[in-house]
Amino acid sequence: MRSNILIVGGSGFVGTNILKKINHTKYNVYATLNKSKKYVKSNKIKYFKGNLKNLKFCEKITNSIDIVIMCAAVSSGAMIIQNNPMFHVDDNIIMNQNILKASAKNRVKKFVFLSSNTVYPVGKKPMKEKDMNYDLFYKYFNVGWMKIFSEKLCEMYKSKMIINIIRPANLYGPYDKFDPTRSKVIPALIRKFERQKIIEVWGSGKDVKDFLFIEDFVENLLTVVEKVNKFSILNICSSNSISLVKILDILKKIHKPKQKKIVFNKIKPSMIPYRKISNKKIKNLIKFKLDNSLEEGIIKTVKWYKKNKKV
């Protein structure tokens, strides 16, 4: 018998990629839309359009649902995080609280919450799930505490349903945000390489982060949904931290013979200088798979962007 699964945020970056990957022989698939259009058009997916800040709407969409994946979120890149720190807070807290409350009321069996690696402190060691100590990188203060509070809300409901809290690496890939005000580092650079001769890079280029291609993230996330049937907090990451300079080298290689001039603007906002994340815990629970190298993932993302620049 197929389970009823609800993808909350079905037109967003993660939600869209889940809908493209999900196995319809295992699940009856439902998804939510807000203002964005749906990118995955299928008569096998039932969409609900509405506002997650409305509790009644959340109660409606979780009725008769077995599994909820909460990937709806107000998100942004470095510019908005620095210039408008509260941008991530209010709406996300309300949406997360509403969907949790509605899921518990409607006796949802499993709730999967997408958190963030912003909950971890600054440090050179690979961050394990137990390393969250509330000493956040100062630029992540608002978004990090919003995610921590949301994780604690999830824990409060663990007696009502199975809760899986997922802390992803820095995700990139098709259907990400590529506009200059909201994009994160890889989509921002891809856009610049496609449109500009002089590439302005914010910061020194020495930042080191854990990047993960969205297809690899989704495959492992769906395995967690299927296999991990107890309260858990899990990193989904590559555990390979890469410098921004390495990403620039890959993009320069892809765009040969076009010559691009790289200019580092140290005045512009940049984020945490070093982040490495451990995937040891999840490897002990599921058959963890990474099918795409960083270069392969970036090549696929560039190809998608060239075909979908107006998306």
State mean pLDDT over 244-261.
84
Residue-range definition of the domain harbouring residue 221: 3-171+213-238+275-292
Instruction: Assess if residue 260 is contained within a domain.
Output: no
pLDDT for 223 equals: 98
pLDDT for 149 equals: 96
Instruction: Assess if residue 188 is contained within a domain.
Output: no
Domain count, the chain: 1
Instruction: Assess if residue 126 is contained within a domain.
Output: yes
Instruction: Assess if residue 283 is contained within a domain.
Output: yes
111-125, 147-161, 172-186, 262-276, range with the lowest pLDDT: 262-276
- Give a three-class secondary structure readout of the chain: CCEEEEEECCCCHHHHHHHHHCCCCCEEEEEEECCCCCCCCCCCEEEEECCCCCHHHHHHHHCCCCEEEECCCCCCCHHHHHHCHHHHCHHHHHHHHHHHHHHHHCCCCEEEEECCHHHCECCCCCECHHHCCCCECHHHHHHHHHHHHHHHHHHHCCCCCEEEEEEECEEECCCCCCCCCCCCHHHHHHHHHHHCCEEEEECCCCCEEEEEEHHHHHHHHHHHHHHCCCCEEEEECCCCEEEHHHHHHHHHHHCCCCCCEEEEECCCCCCCCECCECCHHHHCCCCCCCCCCHHHHHHHHHHHHHHCCCC
Domain with 66 in it: what CATH number? 3.40.50.720
Instruction: Assess if residue 146 is contained within a domain.
Output: yes
Convert the pLDDT of each residue in 5-37 to its tens digit.
Answer: 999 999 999 999 999 999 999 999 999 998 777
Instruction: Assess if residue 26 is contained within a domain.
Output: yes
Instruction: Assess if residue 51 is contained within a domain.
Output: yes
44-53, 125-134, 150-159, 182-191, range with the lowest pLDDT: 182-191
Residue 86: pLDDT over 70: no
Residue 311: pLDDT over 70: no
